[in-house]
Chain A
Amino acid sequence: MAPDSAGSGPTLGQRIAMNAAAVYARGSVRVKASFRERSWLVGETLFPFLAMSAFVLVYRGLHAPREYEGFVVLGGAMIAYWNNVIWGMASQFFWEREQGQLQLYLITPVSRMSILLGMALGGIAMTTTRAAAILIGGVLLFHVDLPLSRALPAFGLFVLTLGAAYSLGMILSSLFLLWGREVWHTATILQEPIYLFSGFYFPVSAMGVVIAIAGSLLPVTLGLDGIRQVFYGPAAHGLLPLRWIPPIQIALTTLFLYIAHVALRFMEDLGKHEGRLTVRGD
């Protein structure tokens, strides 16, 4: 085709603005969906709340310290975000491909990470409803003790944890991009083991140091451990000293974002080479 005369392209500022618009646009799809499709509220809020309630009642029946009920409520809230990382963001390129519209994203000039970030932010907004329902329900129904005076540092650690978790999700997204169905099955199989080894309903240190350290490779495990320490101090049976956790989460976020950038590009190039990016049912 004939040469173009439009020059080498937009400035850095224009590219940032374009990617920011893409983040907002893709994120708003999730937010609109959450307001328009109310049926998900039952599946995403009520049922997880019941699961969380079961653990609270078990601990209560066993006369466990009251902090354990707080562990469960915090874990139940964090599960919502982890599920959103996997099923609401990482796997989305696979579903877009299955619906035949992945190519519409891939031919755009915006970064794939911007699209994923939009999915992440929209997903966080949507998931916060579920997490808030679990937290509020836990406090009101079970009188779980969550000291408000420590809410701010806990929220700070929570934000760092989400950053690392969704960055990991971007790496996983590159796997879904190319090996969608296989990765989907693997993620499904690993779901319950991850719930177990991440200590969503109990202090992860109870698993023993080796397993707990391995489980802490997932940012949600480490973040949850830290948030429990913020609220309950030594009673949280923390795995690592609390002061270590924020820098580790920041380091993980930086590392994961870099790996995600490289992995997404590599997988896309591999997919383009093998002609698999637009093939459905693969």
Chain B
Amino acid sequence: MQRGECFGLLGPNGAGKSTLIKILTTLLLPTSGVAVVAGYDVATEPYQVRRRINLVSGGDSSGYGVLTVRETLHLFSQFYGVPGPVARRRAEELMQVTGLAEKADARLAGLSTGMRQKLNFARGFMSDPEIIFLDEPTLGLDVGASRDVRGFIARWVRERSERTVLLTTHYMMEADELCGRVAIIDHGRILALDTPTALKRTLRDQPVFEFQVSATGQDLDRLREIDGVRSVSHHAHPATGAVELKVVVREDDVIGEVLGRLKGLERSVLHLRKMEPTLETVFIHHVGRGLTDEEADGS
């Protein structure tokens, strides 16, 4: 990673994203090799690393029920030596940005889960870190709040050239929008690393087709047996009950055979379109499955 960039880390569950973040934030020691943050070894110089970083894990909350939002932000700023007046000003700004201003004097015990997550997000920026690790920062937030958070992250990185973000997310659109570069990892290995545009360009010659097929029928993973099919991803659509299927093929002609096999698998095709490459299709191409596949499996 380079200073000043927003770097995205994409990978399925178990790929090693959170483990990597724990190592880089000095919460876990690497079993081998050396991890360096801001020029400092996380294993031997954790203090120097900690001065420069902060961490937001989406879905988590922080603070104590008896404290107010404002007090909580101030509390966590004090562990980084932020002077009182600076901390107070920063807390006001962050509460405005995250929509917490109206709840500034409300105790955490009375906040909704979403509000507490926003507070946790704001907390991460109270120390104005050089490097912030955002592990699924919009997890569980509603659409509007997620948009606000993404806007804040983008502005925050732009404001000062030395600020750096490492972002993990399940939302490909989020990574596409925010990240200058993206790494796709699985089982602890980097499978692809480039700008989102460059990654998508690599799939220009590998067509992606999106299907909607009936929910009943035989196993869709058998489509992988077709010569010319590079990867297959599918998950149930929660609203319609149908299955959304994405197939990356070597060339357009292969789709005829895919359609024939779907018929053999007793799956009715409800919808079919050819997609422009997206970060999601890049992910499917490299990992062999989509992020939502695993969520559907509950793994």
Contacts and interface: CB of A to CB of B under 8 A. Distances in A.
Interface of A: 1-4, 6, 8-10, 14, 17-18, 21-22, 24-26, 28-29, 32-33, 36-37, 100-101, 103-110, 115, 269, 272-273, 275, 277-278
Interface stretch (B52-60, B197-205, B279-287): B52-60
A108 B129 CA distance: 11
B36 A107 contact: no
B1 A275 contact: no
Interface in B64-92: 64, 66-67, 71, 74-76, 78-81
B28 A275 contact: yes
Interface in B160-219: 164
A14 B80 CA distance: 11
Interface string B21-48: 0101111110000001111100000011
A105 B79 contact: yes
A10 B36 CA distance: 20
Interface residues of B, number: 44
A10 B107 CA distance: 34
18 contacts: A1-B37, A1-B39, A4-B39, A6-B130, A10-B51, A33-B66, A36-B66, A100-B57, A100-B61, A101-B61, A104-B62, A107-B54, A108-B79, A108-B80, A109-B50, A272-B26, A272-B28, A273-B29
A277 B19 CA distance: 12
A109 B51 contact: yes
A1 B80 contact: no
B78 A4 contact: no
B248 interface: no
B237 interface: no
Most buried by A among B47, B123, B164: B47
B50 A3 contact: no
Please indicate which of the listed interface residues A14, A25, A33 has the most CB atoms of chain B within 10 Å of its own CB.
A25
B80 A6 contact: no
B38 A3 contact: yes
A104 B29 contact: no
A278 B22 contact: yes
B29 A22 contact: no
A37 B108 CA distance: 13
